[in-house]
């Protein structure tokens, strides 16, 4: 399996600041690697935006084991589109697992989340609503049943800024017995730069984070880490006591409305 971060195609500094709201689906840039933010998080005092832990990985796209792959340290600055100042990575599941000597294979393979603390001056410019779909409406795991609907929003630079290609629907095809990861097929597969994008259930619950694209046994499927497990690991291993902030607009499964921005 391969991680989906890409080295940025944008000129240096092009995304250091922005004018739009900070929201799920904006692009993030960590040491030049571009990813997609998943959800907005808060602990009541601080606002964070989430990305995949591997977005700060240093071992290349084939290094996907969080317990053995290199990573930039907590404290690394992250450029967040729409923010006037760089955010700071204050939690990284890979760094945390390595510091704690984690050995569970599924946890090492699929626990893939990082939280970026936004500068207080940018907190007022945050909208927690997922573009196109609305929500999220809480936090829940993706269902294990094959064929269950999923909803996501990817924002790779490779789409050339065509946001109508970003909202995607999909279905569950398989789930790890541990529940740590679910393979899903979407209308178009996740592509480099979509890493970290959020997945929601058919009721709009924030459910997972895009971690990898599979080459076997389900070629072209997306590997989605289980968000409730990732948050529980964070809360029990010294990370922020943050959780997902619900969207301000209702969740809507109308695909046409999503791609037209209606």
Confidence band, pLDDT 50/70/90 cuts, at residue 164: low
Asked whether residue 235 is assigned to any structural domain, the reply reads no
Confidence band, pLDDT 50/70/90 cuts, at residue 38: very high
Q: Give 76's contacts (C-beta < 8 A, 6+ positions apart).
A: 30, 31, 56, 88, 89
Asked whether residue 21 is assigned to any structural domain, the reply reads yes
Mean pLDDT of the chain: 86
Helical (H) or strand (E) element with 107: helix 105-110
| Residue 221, pLDDT score | 77
Percent of the chain with pLDDT over 90: 70
Q: Which CATH number belongs to the domain containing residue 84 in this structure?
A: 2.40.10
The answer to whether residue 174 scores a pLDDT higher than 70 is yes
pLDDT mean over 179-188: 88
Which residue range forms the structural domain that includes residue 9? 2-123
Q: For residues 249 and 261, which has the higher predicted lDDT (pLDDT)? A: 249
The answer to whether residue 17 scores a pLDDT higher than 50 is no
> How many other CB atoms sit within 10 Å of the CB of residue 184?
27
Asked whether residue 76 is assigned to any structural domain, the reply reads yes
Domain count, the chain: 1
């Amino acid at each position: 399996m391969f991680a989906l971060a890409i080295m940025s195609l944008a000129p240096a500094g092009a995304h250091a600041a922005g004018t739009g709201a900070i929201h799920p689906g904006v692009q993030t840039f960590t040491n030049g690697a571009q990813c997609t933010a998943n959800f907005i998080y808060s602990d009541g005092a601080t606002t964070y935006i989430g990305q995949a832990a591997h977005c700060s990985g240093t071992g290349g796209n084939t290094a996907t084991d969080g317990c053995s792959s290199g990573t930039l340290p907590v404290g690394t600055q992250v450029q967040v589109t729409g923010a006037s100042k760089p955010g700071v990575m204050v939690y990284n599941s890979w760094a945390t697992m390595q510091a704690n000597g984690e050995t569970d294979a599924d946890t090492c393979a699929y626990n893939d989340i990082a939280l970026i603390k936004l500068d207080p001056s940018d907190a007022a410019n945050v909208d927690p609503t997922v573009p196109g779909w609305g929500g999220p409406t809480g936090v829940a795991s993706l269902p294990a049943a094959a064929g269950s609907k999923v909803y996501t929003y990817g924002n790779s630079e490779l789409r050339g800024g065509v946001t109508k290609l970003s909202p995607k629907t999909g279905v569950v095809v398989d789930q790890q017995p541990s529940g740590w990861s679910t393979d899903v097929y979407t209308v178009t597969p996740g592509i480099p730069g979509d890493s970290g994008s959020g997945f929601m259930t058919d009721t709009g619950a924030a459910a997972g984070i895009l971690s990898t694209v599979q080459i076997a046994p389900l070629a072209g499927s997306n590997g989605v880490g289980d968000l409730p497990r990732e948050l529980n690991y964070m809360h029990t291993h010294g990370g922020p006591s943050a959780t997902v902030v619900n969207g301000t607009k209702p969740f809507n499964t109308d695909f046409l409305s999503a791609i037209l921005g209606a």
